[in-house]
């Protein structure tokens, strides 16, 4: 597999995956597609666009006519990261979540089928399994029970992917990962929001009692797992991915206060997220036993590196907070489609 389409390439995990693929597979030819919504940032791919093996096209995955020529260009595999990804935004309005996360996936599946793409990897989430009590972990056979409009839309997509494998024999793969952290994460998610707020001497909003638990994984470990599944996973299968690192939100907040020399009074307890899932924890024995993947990054080291990255890359996140990052590509390329480095 050398010609790979990465959708959602200008987002947090997509941009890290493009960078990982360029480093790890010298023969890879990558087309990165992104609609450049509020969450997409061409500045996250600045170093990659200089590589002759990478081409970026601004495109909406729901737009079958615009996507078809990209697929027609000999694409052998698709890794779909494109999504509306923030739970709080899905509570404010679900329409874009259904459009991109469900209809977008159906459009991609139809195009992949028409163009006989060899592998289709859907990047899904552990949130499809719903919420855990104090014990137990999500396995691949845990019944899906999504609780937010976001996770419901991701679950619908997983069902479609399964159906295209079952009905048409397409070589599909689904990965379900836990909470990622690391460089280039949009500062609306817990860790980058808290780091950037504290750097700007603002308080951090902790939902409810702060005792909700997430299973944290460094984005680089997630990218390595995705490439492993893409290359060696069994078609039709689901693979859980996780960091084996359960931490309550209050503990994350306290560790960040420590890193940035701030007092506990910088935590502001705020009204809880409606329908807030209490605990996620992922059982990774299937991917470990079948494909030999395990997370490598220790959380304390990863968090320290991440804080250091946000300190060293103030311009990247400050331009997001002021909105300048969106003016950048509109000034450079206008409001329409962008192709960086056409072939």
Beta carbon nearer to ligand NAD, 100 or 306 = 100
Residues 232 to 251 in contact with ligand DAU, rule: CB under 6 A: 249
What's the burial of 49, exposed, middle or buried (CB within 10 Å: 0-12/13-18/19+)?
A: middle
Per DSSP, the residues of 89-150 read HHHH--HHHHIIIIIHHHHHHHHHHHTT-SEEEEEEEGGGG----SS--B-TTSPP---SHH
Token pair for 235: 């078609």
The one among 37, 100, 212, 228 contacting ligand DAU by CB under 6 A: 212
User: DSSP character for 248?
Assistant: E
Site string for ligand NAD, 9-48 (x = CB under 6 A): -xxxxx-------------------xxxx-xx--------
126 is catalytic: yes
**How far apart are CB 87 and ligand DAU at their closest, in Å?**
4
For the chain, the helix, strand and coil percentages under 3-state DSSP, each to the nearest 5: 45, 20, 35
**Cα distances (Å, whole numbers) of residue 338 to 27, 36, 326, 335:** 25, 10, 13, 8
The one among 214, 218, 222, 279 contacting ligand DAU by CB under 6 A: 214
Beta-bridge partners for 54: 30
How many C-beta atoms surround the C-beta of residue 298 within 10 A? 12
Contacts of 57 (CB under 8 A, 6+ apart): 31, 32, 33, 70, 337, 338, 339, 340
Beta carbon nearer to ligand NAD, 164 or 181 = 181
Beta carbon nearer to ligand DAU, 202 or 332 = 202
**How far apart are CB 297 and ligand DAU at their closest, in Å?**
17
| Calpha distance 162→173 (Å, rounded) | 8
Site string for ligand DAU, 145-184 (x = CB under 6 A): ---------------------------------xx-----
Token pair for 248: 């309550």
Beta carbon nearer to ligand DAU, 23 or 278 = 278
The option from ligand DAU, ligand NAD, none interacting with 206 (CB < 5 to 8 A, set by class) reads: ligand DAU
| Calpha distance 220→207 (Å, rounded) | 27
Beta carbon nearer to ligand DAU, 50 or 272 = 272
Active-site position among 84, 127, 221, 277? 127
Residues of the shown chain interacting with ligand DAU in the complex, contacts defined by CB under 6 A: 85-87, 125-127, 178-179, 189-190, 193, 205-207, 212, 214, 249, 273, 280
Residues of the shown chain interacting with ligand NAD in the complex, contacts defined by CB under 6 A: 7-8, 10-14, 34-37, 39-40, 60-62, 81-85, 100, 104, 123, 125, 154, 177, 179-180, 186
């Amino acid at each position: 597999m050398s010609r790979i389409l990465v959708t959602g390439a200008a987002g947090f995990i997509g941009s890290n995956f493009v960078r990982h693929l360029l480093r790890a597979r010298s023969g890879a030819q990558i087309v990165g597609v992104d609609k450049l919504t509020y969450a997409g940032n061409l500045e996250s791919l600045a170093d990659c666009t200089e590589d002759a093996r990478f081409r970026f096209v601004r495109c909406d995955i729901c737009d079958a006519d615009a996507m078809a020529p990209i697929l027609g260009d000999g694409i052998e595999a698709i890794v779909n990261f494109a999504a509306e990804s923030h739970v709080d935004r899905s509570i404010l309005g679900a329409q874009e979540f259904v459009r991109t996360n469900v209809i977008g996936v159906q459009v991609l599946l139809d195009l992949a089928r028409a163009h006989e793409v060899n592998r289709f990897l859907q990047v899904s989430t552990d949130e499809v399994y719903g919420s855990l009590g104090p014990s137990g972990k999500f396995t691949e056979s845990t019944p899906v029970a999504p609780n937010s409009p976001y996770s419901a839309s991701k679950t619908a997509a997983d069902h479609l992917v399964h159906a295209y494998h079952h009905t048409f024999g397409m070589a599909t793969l689904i990965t379900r990962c836990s909470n990622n952290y690391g460089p280039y994460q949009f500062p609306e998610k817990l860790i980058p929001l808290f780091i950037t707020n504290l750097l700007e001497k603002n308080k951090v909003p902790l939902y409810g009692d702060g005792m909700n638990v997430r299973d944290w994984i460094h984005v680089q470990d997630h990218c390595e797992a995705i490439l492993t599944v893409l290359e060696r996973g069994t078609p039709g299968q689901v693979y859980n991915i996780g960091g084996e690192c359960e931490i309550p939100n209050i503990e994350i907040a306290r560790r960040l206060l420590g890193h940035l020399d701030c007092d506990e009074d910088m935590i502001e307890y705020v009204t809880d997220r409606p329908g807030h899932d209490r605990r996620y924890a992922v059982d990774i024995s299937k991917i470990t036993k079948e494909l030999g993947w395990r997370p490598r990054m220790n959380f304390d080291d990863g968090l320290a590196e991440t804080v250091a990255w946000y300190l060293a890359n103030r311009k990247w996140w400050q331009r997001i907070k002021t909105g300048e990052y969106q003016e950048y590509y509109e000034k450079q390329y206008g409001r329409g489609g962008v192709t960086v480095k056409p072939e």
